[in-house]
Structures are given as C-alpha cells and as structure tokens.
A and B are shown apart, each in its own frame.
Chain A
Amino acid sequence: DIQMTQSPSTLSASVGDRVTITCRASQTISDWLAWYRQKPGEAPKLLIYRASTLERGVPSRFSGSGSGTEFTLTISGLQPDDFATYYCQQYNSYSWGFGQGTKVEIK
C-alpha cells in the first residue's frame, strides 16, 4: 500500500498569510493526487485534482504543485473560511489513500 505523509499536522496562521502544506507519497504516484478542505461537521470539499488542476468554483488563492512523490498545497492569502483541516489523497490501482490531515488554526 502507498502511504501518504502530510506535514505539518497543525499550522497556526493569520488571515492574509501564505501557507504551504506538504504531502509525500511512499512511492511514485505520478500526478494522481487531490487536495480537500474539510470543516467540522461537513463533508470534504475538493480543491485540487491531478496535483495542480483547480476544481471549478474554487478560489484562485488555492494552488497545487508536484509530481512523483512530493506535492504541495499553497493558500495565498488565507481567508476566515480557510481555517479547517486539509487532506491529500492519492489514487492508485482503484484505491484511494489519504494523508493524516493538516489542521490550519487561527494564530
């Protein structure tokens, strides 16, 4: 099984900050990586797929990059709505694997 490791686990930031979350795969996954934002009590919301493609309707302050085993999610100009938990997700051989999540907190 492919393991996904996210860092950091928790991140403290202020409105307007630029934040970066990293996700590493235990083996190469090409660009089969997605990013989600989840608020408490809600379903995950897709932000980025195929490592760098912005989902329709998602603000342009979100961007994704990387391929192979290392990926990043960047939020340029954190908004109040962005204080939440973020997950990366890989797709391989008809199964998904998620990172453990990164909680973005208000500093």
Chain B
Amino acid sequence: EVQLVQSGGDLVQPGGSLRLSCVVSGINFGSYWMTWVRQAPGKGLEWVATINQDGTEHYSVDSVKGRFTISRENADNSVFLQMNSLRTEDTAVYYCARGRDYGDYWGQGTLVTVSS
C-alpha cells in the first residue's frame, strides 16, 4: 500500500521559517517526481513546487520563488519543503503528492498558519 505521511505544520509568525516533511512508503521512492500543493482556508488548490527523481531539477510557483525550497532525501524516502520568510498569505494546508504531470497519491495534509 502506498502511503504519504506528512509532518511539520505549525503556527509561525510572519517572517519565520518552517520545514515540512513527507515520508513515502510502498513504492520505489527514487523513481518518482514529487510535488507540493497547498490550499488556503476555504479556497482552491494551488501548485507550489515539484522536484525530479534525483533532486537535480526543481520548479516552483513565482509567489514562493526565493523563499521556499523543495528537496528530497531518497535514502529516507522523504521529500521536504523548506519555507522561509513566511507571509500571512502562505497560510494553508500543504499536501505532498506523487507525480510530475498529476498527483496519483497524496499525503493527508499539514496545516501551516502564519500569524502574529
């Protein structure tokens, strides 16, 4: 069974940092692209970032460029989202998902709240 288990969400002040984790089991993790998607409270889905199988390629939405970094550690079957210089508008549930073109498996989501 494929499972994506997320952690790391928290309440953080504007300008702060947070690191989200997503541990994947049940697949050959190193064979797949991985993606982060977020959803602000009561809003729709927004793509955040994507990383290739060996971590040498990564892409992100303009609104997080220079602040968020996607990375992975294949030895630990994990993908990460390092979030710096957080803003109130980054408040959302963040999901990790397997895939480059679409997400066929998703984590349970983790809530990031940016507020003073």
Contact = CB atoms under 8 A, between A and B. Distances in A.
Interface of A: 32, 34, 36, 38, 43-46, 49-50, 55, 87, 89, 91, 94-101
- If over half of A's interface residues share one DSSP class (helix, strand or loop), that class is named, otherwise mixed; here it is strand
A55 B95 CA distance: 20
B95 A44 contact: yes
Interface string B44-62: 1111001000000101010
Interface of B: 35, 37, 44-47, 50, 57, 59, 61, 95, 100-104, 106-109
Contact of A46 (B46, B59, B61, B102): B102
Contacts of B108: 43
Contacts of A94: 50, 57, 59, 100
Contacts of B104: 46, 49, 55
Interface of chain B, helix or strand or loop or mixed?
loop
Contacts of A45: 106
Contact of B44 (A32, A55, A100): A100
A43 B35 contact: no
Given A43-B95, A43-B107, A44-B95, A97 B47 contact: yes
Given A49-B101, A100-B44, A44 B35 contact: no
A99 B44 CA distance: 8
